[in-house]
Amino acid sequence: MCKDDNTIKELIIGRRVGFYKVRGEIGCGTFSRVKLAFHALTKDKVALKILDKTRLDTQAQRLLSREISSMEFLRHPNVVLLYEVVETPSRLHLVLEYAGGGDLHNRICNEGKLSDTTSKITFAQILSAIKYMHNINIIHRDLKAENVLFTSSGCVKVADFGFSTRVSNRNKVLDTFCGSPPYAAPELFQDECYLGPPVDVWAMGVLLFFMVTGTMPFRADTMGKLRRSIIEANYIVPPWLPGPCQRLIKGILKTIPAERYAVDQILGCDWLLPVEFPWSLVAPEPTGLLEGHHRADDRLYCLPCKSAES
Ligand code: ADE
C-alpha cells in the first residue's frame, strides 16, 4: 500500500492516517478536531481525534498524556474505546471507537427530556461505565451531556477523558478544578482538595436531572451566582417526577461529599429496579477486524435509548 501513488498522496494531504481514510469533521475542541474516518481494509468507522503537536502547551501536553494513559486501561462496552494512537511529525491521532448516534446534550436540546424508561436505560449505562472506571481508580472529572455519546443502535458510550486522572487509590485527594461549571460539585468551588469519586457522582446527579426534566438543576447568568446556587444546593426537584427518581436525585445532589450516595447505593436504588431489557431492539454487533476489541457479551450492556416505550 505504501508504494501506491494515490496512498502516498492521501498521506501527504492528510486524507489518510495509517490505515484510515479520513472524511469530514464531526467535532472540535480547544486543542483538537474530531474527524470521521474508516479503516481502508475492514471499512470500520472510527472517530479520529487530531491534535496539532506544535500547538500544545505544557498543560495541554500533560492532559493529553493523562487522556491516553487513562484510555489505555479502559475496556468497557459503555466507554469509548481507544484503538490506537498514530503519530506523524506534526500531529497525534487518537483512533477512537465511533459513536454515530449523536450526544445526549443535542438529543435533549432537539427532542426534549427523555422518558422515564429511556432515562433509566441511559443512566444505568453511564452508571455502569463510572462504576467500572472507579473500580480501576480512574476518575473522569468531565462528565456532562456533551460527553455522553450514543452508537447508532442507541448504546451509551462515555467519551472525552481529557480531564481524567488515575489515582493510586479512591481516597486520594485531588486539587485541580476540572470540568464544566454547571456539572461541578460544591467542594470544587470551596475546598482546595477533593475526593475523585464523589465529584463524578455529583455530575451524574446533574445528568440525571437533565435527562428526566430537560433542564439543568443549577442555572445562573453569572459564575458567582452559579457557584452560590451549587454550594447551597439550591435546586428544585419537580414534584411530577416519580418518587423513586426524586429520592435518587436528592441522594446524589447532597452538598457534603461524605453524605452523597456512593455508586453502589445508586446501583441499588428503587428507581433503577424495574428496567426491562428491550432485547428486540438490540442491533447485532458489526463484524470486522476491530471487533476483536470488544467482549463477547457486549450486547448485555448495549441498551438502546429509543427504547420500549413505543
Ligand atoms: N465526537 C467525539 N468523539 C466521538 C466519537 N468517539 N464518536 C463520534 N463522535 C465523536
The arithmetic mean of pLDDT across residues 36-65, rounded, is 93
Grid cell of 41 as nine digits: 481494509
Question: How does residue 10 score in pLDDT terms, banded at 50, 70 and 90?
Answer: confident
Question: How does residue 15 score in pLDDT terms, banded at 50, 70 and 90?
Answer: confident
* pLDDT tens per residue, range 101-124: 999 999 999 999 999 999 999 999
The arithmetic mean of pLDDT across residues 274-297, rounded, is 46
Q: What pLDDT is stored for residue 2 in this prediction?
A: 61
Q: What pLDDT is stored for residue 18 in this prediction?
A: 87
Q: End-to-end alpha-carbon separation of the chain, Å?
A: 49
> Is the minimum distance from the CB of 98 to ligand 1 under 6 angstroms?
yes
Statement: residue 135 has pLDDT above 50: yes
Cβ–Cβ contacts within 10 Å for residue 119, how many?
Answer: 22
Can you tell me which atom of ligand 1 is nearest the CA of 97?
6
Q: What pLDDT is stored for residue 52 in this prediction?
A: 93
> Residues with catalytic annotation?
142
> Is the minimum distance from the CB of 33 to ligand 1 under 6 angstroms?
no
The Å distance, Cα 172 to ligand 1 centre, comes to 30
Q: What pLDDT is stored for residue 24 in this prediction?
A: 94
* pLDDT tens per residue, range 166-213: 998 888 999 888 889 999 999 999 978 999 999 999 999 999 999 999
The residue ranking higher by pLDDT, 281 or 71, is: 71
CA distances from 310 to 63, 113, 115, 287, 307 (A): 43, 16, 11, 29, 7
The arithmetic mean of pLDDT across residues 225-234, rounded, is 96
> Is the minimum distance from the CB of 26 to ligand 1 under 6 angstroms?
yes
Question: How does residue 153 score in pLDDT terms, banded at 50, 70 and 90?
Answer: very high
Residues 6+ apart with CB under 8 A from 298: 77, 285
- CA dist., res. 44 & res. 36, Å (int): 11
Domains and CATH numbers, the chain: 17-97 (3.30.200.20), 104-281 (1.10.510.10)
> Is the minimum distance from the CB of 47 to ligand 1 under 6 angstroms?
yes
CA nearest 119: which of 289, 231, 1, 248? 248
Q: What pLDDT is stored for residue 175 in this prediction?
A: 84
Q: What pLDDT is stored for residue 273 in this prediction?
A: 87
Alpha-helical regions (H) of the chain = 5-12, 58-73, 104-111, 116-135, 186-190, 196-213, 223-231, 243-252, 263-267
Cβ–Cβ contacts within 10 Å for residue 108, how many?
Answer: 17
Annotate 155-205 with three-state secondary structure. Answer: CEEECCCCCCEECCCCCCEECCCCCCHHHCCHHHHHCCCEEHHHHHHHHHH
DSSP 255: S
Statement: residue 65 has pLDDT above 70: yes
* pLDDT above 70 coverage of the chain, percent: 85
Ligand 1 binding pocket mutation candidate from 23, 25, 26, 151 (most atoms within 8 A of CB): 26
> Is the minimum distance from the CB of 290 to ligand 1 under 6 angstroms?
no
- CA dist., res. 15 & res. 24, Å (int): 10
Question: How does residue 30 score in pLDDT terms, banded at 50, 70 and 90?
Answer: confident
Q: What pLDDT is stored for residue 296 in this prediction?
A: 31
Query: Is residue 227 within 8 Å of residue 189, measured between CB atoms?
Result: yes
Helix 196-213 with 104-111: angle, nearest 10 deg: 20
Closest protein CA for atom 6 of ligand 1: 98
The residue ranking higher by pLDDT, 309 or 167, is: 167
Q: What pLDDT is stored for residue 205 in this prediction?
A: 98
Question: How does residue 1 score in pLDDT terms, banded at 50, 70 and 90?
Answer: low
Residues 6+ apart with CB under 8 A from 228: 220, 234
Q: What pLDDT is stored for residue 284 in this prediction?
A: 52
What pairing do the DSSP bridges indicate for beta strands 148-150 and 156-158?
A: antiparallel
Closest protein CA for atom 1 of ligand 1: 27
